[in-house]
A and B are shown apart, each in its own frame.
Chain A
Amino acid sequence: MISRRDFLQQVSGAMVAAAASYPLLSWAADNAEVVVPGKEGMIVRSARFLDLEMPPEFADSWITPVHHFFVRNHMHEPSTLDANSWRLNIGGEVEKPLILSLADLAKLEPHSVTNTLECAGNGRGFQQPNVPGVQWGKGAVGTGRFTGPRLRDLLQRAGVKSTGKHVMFRGLDEIPGKVPAFIRSIPVEKATDSDTLVATHMNGAPLTRHHGFPARCLVPGWIGAASCKWLTEIKVLDKEFEGNFMKPAYRMPNQPIAPGGQVNPDDTHAVTGLNVKSIIAGPADGPLLKSKAVHIHGAAWAGEADVVRVEISTDSGATWQPAQLSKEQTHYAWRLWNYDWKAPKAGDYTLMSRATDSQGRTQPQSADWNPSGYLYNAIDQVKIHVAA
């Protein structure tokens, strides 16, 4: 008869094998259940590479818990990440190139920024005519509290030369085939902003693997792609980085273009700050509501600007009433809002939300079309039916 200890060892062996097969399940089986430990109830836009969208009903919390935070990967996540052997190389147009360990980062003064991170392609699925790319709905967005040393402090130690104009980031993403590496750059002015971080923590805990462990950039108010995950190299350049993910990817036409139109790649600029935008977290789109009292709520954000107003329409956009903005408020973070409404009678209603920011930008009726579907920010809407 096997001893209890042997038996327990066998059981734990089976558990380890079972645990190891989790990622495999999501790898090969496209239709099988997708289990991503640490991520629950997320819309699976892609299992391999992992692209997970937050369902809009979770936009009801000022800080998005990590298990509901969207995940956007352009390629495979690093297969091994070891905090002890991880190093950050800083070079290029600097006086003194540096190689830093995680312990070195921990010695620098930490700074925290509560930031709404949104993928540039959030809402791409609503663009008409359709454009290629991950067909995100409303939820490639979330708000996290990111902590780590300021990028400015690292750059100061390295000493940026006067020739340094852009700061390039490279992560440890694993590149399949001949796919270009995920490398992008931001202007030195933004890199040295006092709120731009090399974050090691998110919501008070070390970054998880899906969010860039052990360190990532946090470029507040800008598209998610600027905030490079699994950061391993920072290079100061004398001009904007030229590579696939700076051009042709992540660019907007300089002039508005007709939906479906062509763009001259030389008449474009890199996508940087986020648009003004709001989404309705509840009620959900579609259901039959039993009560005439409807609690309409959601979140609104504006990148580097501040949300000053959210308005609600319950009559398909004919009239608008101000929503109440929640107290929690910091620069770069979304504002939660709510509006209590009593349906005058049973029937179908289209509820809409429209945000306005401190730069005077207001969500448009229809978003500017562009060939990659970036920065979609049309007025949000849900259709409901109130029962008699």
Chain B
Amino acid sequence: MSQRDSFQNFLARQCVWTIAVFTLLSVLQLWSQSPELPPGPVQGKIRTACLECHDSRIIVQQRLNKAAWTKEVDKMIKWGAVVDAADRDAFIDYLSSNFPSDKPAEPMSRTSSPKKRDHP
């Protein structure tokens, strides 16, 4: 095999690698959409209403009582979150029972290095 062919093979392998990694990541991405939002009657509605402007981290890291969650939900509705009036109380119940003030702090991940991914 000529040097040129082996270079092309190398590039082809790199290319396949890159595509494979990114396909895998996008599949993972679909599976893992907002996994931290725990199951509950309004889980789906919260995903639609509350992850439009920001991801779920800003929600799951809060540790608040019901009064404070009520203020947050009303502030977000004022800022443009689309929440059916009939769902407001269920949202507040969901958030204050899943992210109450006495729950231990949420562990947060760190950014990973892009270099690691470019040269697996």
- Asked if A42 CB lies within 8 Å of chain B CBs, one says yes
- Asked if B101 CB lies within 8 Å of chain A CBs, one says yes
Q: Quick check: B110 and A10 within 8 Å, CB to CB?
A: no
Contacts A8-B11, A48-B55, A176-B53 known; A28 to B33 CB distance under 8 Å? yes
Residues facing A in B60-114 (CB within 8 A) are 61-65, 68, 71-72, 78-81, 101, 105-106, 108-114
Cβ-defined partner of B111 (8 Å) among A28, A40, A134? A40
CB of B63, distance to nearest CB on chain A (Å): 4
- Chain A residues whose C-beta falls within 8 Å of the C-beta of B29 in the assembled complex: 24-25, 28-29, 32
Q: Quick check: B4 and A134 within 8 Å, CB to CB?
A: no
- Asked if B119 CB lies within 8 Å of chain A CBs, one says no
State the CA gap A22–B111 with chains docked (Å). Answer: 12
Q: Quick check: A130 and B64 within 8 Å, CB to CB?
A: yes
- Asked if A341 CB lies within 8 Å of chain B CBs, one says no
Majority secondary structure of chain B interface residues (helix, strand, loop or mixed): loop
Q: Quick check: B25 and A25 within 8 Å, CB to CB?
A: yes
Identity of the chain B residue whose Cβ is nearest the Cβ of A29 in the assembled complex: B29
Residues facing B in A39-93 (CB within 8 A) are 39-49, 51-53, 55, 75
- Chain B residues whose C-beta falls within 8 Å of the C-beta of A47 in the assembled complex: 55, 57
State the CA gap A381–B114 with chains docked (Å). Answer: 33
Q: Quick check: B25 and A177 within 8 Å, CB to CB?
A: no
- Chain A residues whose C-beta falls within 8 Å of the C-beta of B4 in the assembled complex: 4
Contacts A30-B35, A31-B35, A130-B101 known; A41 to B113 CB distance under 8 Å? yes
Q: Which of A18, A31, A131 has the most CB of B within 10 A?
A: A31
Q: Quick check: B54 and A30 within 8 Å, CB to CB?
A: no
Cβ-defined partner of A45 (8 Å) among B57, B63, B117? B57
Q: Offer 5 A-B interface pairs, CB within 8 angstroms, sorted by A.
A: A14-B18, A21-B26, A30-B36, A44-B57, A132-B62
